[in-house]
Amino acid sequence: MLPYGRQSIDERDIEGVLGVLTGDWLTTGPAVGAFEAELAAWTGGVPCVSVTSGTAALHTAYAAAGIGPGDEVVTSPITFVATAATAAMLGARVVFADVEQDTANLDPAAAEAVTGPRTRAVAAVDYAGHPAEYDALREIASRAGAVVVGDAAHSVGSRYHGRPVGALADLTTFSFFPTKTITTAEGGAVATADEELLRRARRFRNHGLVRDPEEQREPGEGDWHQEVHTFGLNYRLPDVLCALGISQVRRLGEFKARRARLVARYNEALSGLAGLRLPARRPHVDPAWHLYAVGVLDGRRREVYERMRQAGIGVQVNYLPAYRHPVFADMGYRRGMCPVAEEFYARQLSLPLFPDLTDSDQDRVIEALHAILG
């Protein structure tokens, strides 16, 4: 089965990991800071805090922003459920706003319509690697006194109006799951230029521990002394995975370029195929394509999905609108509340896209689609 996405591992990655495995540190050692510094080169110098997953990154970002009971978080339903779940687990009420028809990103007009006095965060999702409209969302959040959170699980390496993802929101979260643009096996990161948010994020990912005597309430116990002022969790990404991350970040440019070439080949080969809508790209965006998300028209998505899988091609559907998960239905959320998102979901199909996808395997995908829809 040809997968829809997978990691790209070569000798550089293996050598980096072996260097840690044969060294003195496996958990929190020098590779952590080195990885965060390498990643910051892609965020325009915005500092990064590595964590154990993209979900942990979202949880850490919301916690750093002080999200809690009584607060509202406005976000997109076209996302993996973690974008909403981590806010809900902190006690916030998630408010879903509809998406744009072309990009499936959070629609600023829809977000503004549901923003109110309790809004503490507007959480955009860079669907498929295409950055959301951050300038408009920043204005909306600013008027509400809220922060902008960028769920950039799909978009590390992307740019918006010439500015890198990671420098667009108050807090940006990344995911390094194997299907993403770069991988640490499991892993994620939070980027923020705000020193206080950065301090809170670093503390939250390490149990909330306070080690600086100048910040402790009972200093003088000894060099071993540490205190917890607010609760945190163990979200520390270990050295062995950060070593893989260092190598992967150094390959990000080549990954992005290969994905762009594959997207261009898809666009050329599928542009005239009836019954298929190709992904949108706005002129002010330079995406690091994570997904090649097409729209299958005329109610044929399930048929195309099943026939492609029968042909050994691992297409995927990304994503069920988040409010349609039973956990949200049990809280009173209902189908149809975001009609553009519902329509997008009903058509969406992700074709295989990853750096090691060969031209010949991509041709298999193209030929299979033409055979079904042609």
| Chain segment 7-19, per-residue pLDDT in tens | 999 999 999 999 9
Q: Are residues 207 and 228 in the same domain?
A: yes
| Tens-place pLDDT, residues 299-340 | 999 999 999 999 999 999 999 999 999 999 999 999 999 999
CB 133 within 8 A of CB 89: no
Average pLDDT over residues 83-111: 98
Q: Are residues 129 and 235 in the same domain?
A: yes
Number of domains in the chain: 2
Question: What's the pLDDT at 295?
Answer: 98
Question: What's the pLDDT at 215?
Answer: 94
Compute and round to an integer the Cα radius of gyration of the chain.
21
Last residue of a domain, one of 246, 275, 296: 246
Rounded Cα distance, 347 and 277, in Å = 9
| Tens-place pLDDT, residues 116-145 | 999 999 999 999 999 999 999 999 999 999
Catalytic member of 154, 180, 203, 258 = 180
Global pTM value: 0.97
CB 105 within 8 A of CB 124: yes
Question: What's the pLDDT at 374?
Answer: 87
Q: Judge residue 56's burial from the number of C-beta atoms within 10 Å of its C-beta, 0-12 exposed, 13-18 middle, 19 or more buried.
A: buried
| Tens-place pLDDT, residues 204-226 | 999 999 999 999 999 989 999 99
Question: What's the pLDDT at 150?
Answer: 98
CB 280 within 8 A of CB 128: no
Question: What's the pLDDT at 254?
Answer: 98
Last residue of a domain, one of 219, 246, 273: 246
CB 91 within 8 A of CB 68: yes
Specify the CATH number for the domain of residue 257: 3.90.1150.10
Specify the CATH number for the domain of residue 77: 3.40.640.10
Structural domain including 69 reads: 11-246
For residue 180, indicate whether it is catalytic: yes
